Amino acid sequence: MENDQSLTVHNENLQNALNKGDINLFREHFLDMHPFDQATFFKELPEDSRLKVYAFLSPEETADLMEHIELEDTEAFFSEMDPRFASAVLSKIATDDAVDILNEMEKDKVASFLTIMDKEASDEIKQLLHYEEKTAGSIMTTEFVALNKNSTVAETMKLLKEEAPDAETIYYLYVVDEDKHLVGVLSLRDLIVADENTLVLDIMSEKVVYVPVGMDQEEVAQMMKDYDFLAVPVIDFQKHLLGIITVDDILDVMDEEASDDYSKFAAVDVDSPDENAFFAAMKRLPWLIILLFIGMFTASLISMFEDTIAKVALLAAFIPVIAGTAGNSGTQALAVAVRGLANSDYGKGGKIRLLLREAGTGLITGTVCGIVITFVIFFWKGEFFLGLLVGITLLITLTVATLAGSVIPIIMDRMHIDPAVASGPFITTINDIISILIYFGMATAFMRLLI
C-alpha cells in the first residue's frame, strides 16, 4: 500500500513537472523510476504530454522506456515522434526488439526509418528483417560477444570489457574459429577462475546446444525450457554463428504463443480487445455460422426421434444435462491433450498412455455421474427406468467424449495441423451429436420399459 501511494505521489510530481515544462525536475523524478514504471506512467499520458516527454529525454533513455511497452502499442508512439528522433530511438533499442517493432509497421514507414537511421544500426536490423516471422532468426539478437578459440583468457577479458556494455548477455560466451564456425561455449565463471595465460580452446566445452536459424520459435522456447538455458546460439546450415536468443525473448514468445493458442481454442482473436464491434463481429461470424449449421444437424438428429419424444416427453428435459456434461468432459480432456502436445510431454508410448488414462477417467467419471443422476431422477420424478437410461447414457457419453477430446488433437498433430484449432466449440458440438445419438437410440430401443 505504501509503495502504491509513493508511486502515485511520484506520478503527480512528474505530471506537474510536465505541465510546468520543468525539464530538470521531470528528468530527476522520471529517471529515478524503473523502466517498467516509466512505461506505465507514459502510456497513460495524453499525446501533448507524450510529445514533451520525447523532448525531455535522449534517444537512449526513450529506448529503455519503449522496450517495456507492449509491441502492439509501439507503432502509434513511434508515429507521433519526429522521424529523426524515432530513428535514433530505434537504433538504441536491442536489434531483435527493434525488428519486432518494425514488423508491426507499414513497409514504407520501415523504409523511411531505416534510411534516416545510423548505417551500422540499420545494417544490423536489415540482417534480421529478412528472416521469416516466428523463426529463430526473427527473434535472435546480433548483439553478443563471440570469442576466438585461440585467444588467451587475458585477451578475452580485455575484449569483454570493451564489448560487454553493448552485448545482450555475457553469462554464456560462445567460441568460434577463424571462419566464424561455432565450436564451443564457456561460462563467465569458467573464464574468471581460469589462469590468464590459458587458451579459450582449453577451457571451453565442445558440447554446444544450438538451434538452426529457421527453427520455429515455439520449438526454440520448448528447448530452452527443457535445458533451463539463459541463452542459446543460432547458426546457419554451415554452422556459422549468426546470433543468440536470450531468455527474455523466449518469455515474450511463450506469452505470444499462449495468447495465439487461446485465440484458436476459443475461435476468437484475443489480441484485439479494443477494435470496434463491427470488425470484431466480422471475425467471429464465420466460426459461428459454421457451428450454426453443425447445430442444425444436431437439431435434425433430434427431429428423427420425434416419435420417441412424443411417447415419453420427459426425455427432452434431460438433453441439456447429457449434452452439457459430455461437452464439458470432452473440453477438459482436450485441454490436457493440447497442453501436453504443445509442451512435447508425450515421448515414446506417451500418447497411448494418455488415451488409456483418459478412457479410464471417462469411465470413472461417467459411472459416478450416471449413478448420481439415476437416483436424482428416481427421487425427483419417481421414474427408475428413465433415471437408469439417463445414467447409462451419461456413462457411455462421458467415456466416449473424454476419449474424443484426447484423440482429436492427437490426430490433428499427426496430420501436422495445430491441435489448438480443435477448439472447444467443435469438440462440444461433436459430443452433442454423439450424446444425442446414444441417448435417443437407447430410449427407442428400450421404449417398452419407459411407457
Look at the pTM and tell me if it is higher than 0.75: no
* Beta-carbon contacts of residue 180 (< 8 Å; ≥ 6 apart): 146, 240, 241
**C-alpha R_g of the chain:** 30
User: Which residues, listed in sequence order, are joined to residue 62 by a DSSP beta bridge?
Assistant: none
Under the banding of pLDDT at 50, 70 and 90, the label for residue 1 is very low
Classify the C-alpha dihedral 70-76-82-84 as positive or negative: positive
Instruction: Among 3.40.50.1000, 3.10.580.10, 3.40.1160.10, 3.65.10.10, name the CATH number for the domain at 146-247.
Output: 3.10.580.10
Give the mean pLDDT of 31-47. Answer: 88
C-alpha grid cell for residue 438?
446414444
Asked if residue 241 has pLDDT above 90, the reply is yes
Q: In this predicted model, what pLDDT tens digit does every residue of 188-222 receive, in sequence order?
A: 888 999 999 999 999 999 989 999 998 988 889 88
CB neighbourhood size of 428 (10 A): 20
Separation in Å, CA 7 to CA 1, 4, 199, 280, 342: 10, 5, 51, 36, 40
> What rounded mean pLDDT belongs to the chain?
82
The answer to whether 242 and 213 have CB atoms below 8 angstroms apart is yes
CA dist list (Å): 306 to 259, 271, 299, 315, 442: 44, 44, 11, 11, 14
Among residues 126, 107, 243, the alpha carbon closest in space to that of 176 is found at 243
The pLDDT value recorded for residue 407 is 83
Q: Report the C-alpha gap between 397 and 322 in whole angstroms.
A: 8
SS3 sequence of the chain: CHHHHHHHHHHHHHHHHHHHCCHHHHHHHHCCCCHHHHHHHHHCCCHHHHHHHHHHCCHHHHHHHHCCCCHHHHHHHHHHCCHHHHHHHHHHCCHHHHHHHHCCCCHHHHHHHHHHCCHHHHHHHHHHHCCCCCEHHHHCECCCCEEECCCEHHHHHHHHHHHHHHCCCCCEEEEECCCCEEEEEEEHHHHHHCCCCCEHHHHCECCCCCEECCCEHHHHHHHHHHHCCCEEEEECCCCEEEEEEEHHHHHHHHHHHHHHHHHHHHCCCCCCCCCCHHHHHHHHHHHHHHHHHHHHHHHHHHHCCHHHHHHCHHHHHHHHHHHHHHHHHHHHHHHHHHHHHHCCCCCCCHHHHHHHHHHHHHHHHHHHHHHHHHHHHHHHHCCHHHHHHHHHHHHHHHHHHHHHHHHHHHHHHHCCCCHHHCCHHHHHHHHHHHHHHHHHHHHHHCHHHHC
Most confidently predicted of 1-10, 69-78, 199-208: 199-208
Pairwise pLDDT comparison (277 vs 37), residue with the higher score: 37
Beta carbons of 329 and 365 less than 8 angstroms apart: yes
Predicted local distance difference test score (pLDDT) of residue 451: 62
- The strand pair at 182-187 and 172-176 is best described as antiparallel
Mean pLDDT, residues 121-143? 84
* Per-residue confidence (pLDDT) for residue 198, from 0 to 100: 92
With a cut of 80, say whether residue 117 has pLDDT above it: yes
Fold adopted by 277-450: Tetracycline Repressor; domain 2 (1.10.357)
Taking the C-alpha atoms of residue 425 and residue 268, their distance in angstroms, rounded to an integer, is 11
Spatial contact of 342 and 409, defined as CB atoms under 8 Å apart: no
Mean pLDDT of 364-372: 91
Q: Say which range, 7-21, 83-97, 416-430, has the weakest mean pLDDT.
A: 416-430
Contacts of 57 (CB under 8 A, 6+ apart): 27, 30, 65
pLDDT at residue 230 greater than cutoff 60: yes
CATH 1.25.60.10 range(s) for the chain read 2-135
Partnered with residue 146 across adjacent β-strands are 174
User: How high is the pLDDT of residue 201?
Assistant: 92
Q: Where in the chain is the domain with CATH 3.10.580.10?
A: 146-247
Every domain range in the chain assigned CATH 1.10.357.20 = 277-450
Answer yes or no: CATH 1.25.60.10 is held by domain 2-135. yes
Q: How confident is the model at residue 292 (pLDDT cuts 50, 70, 90)?
A: confident
Residues 64, 297: Cα–Cα separation, whole Å: 56
Q: Which residues contact 336 (CB under 8 A, 6 or more apart)?
A: 354, 358, 405, 406
pLDDT in tens, 74-91: 888 998 999 899 999 998
Per-residue pLDDT band for 7 (boundaries 50, 70, 90) equals: low
Q: What values do phi and psi take at 212, rounded to 5? A: -70, 155
CA atoms 300, 304, 306, 311: torsion sign: negative
Which band of pLDDT confidence, cut at 50, 70 and 90, is reported for residue 2?
Answer: very low
Mean pLDDT of 271-294: 67
* CB burial string 58-86: b at 16+ within 10 A, e below: ebebbbbbbbebeeeebbebbeebeeebb
Look up residue 172 and give its three cell numbers: 554464456
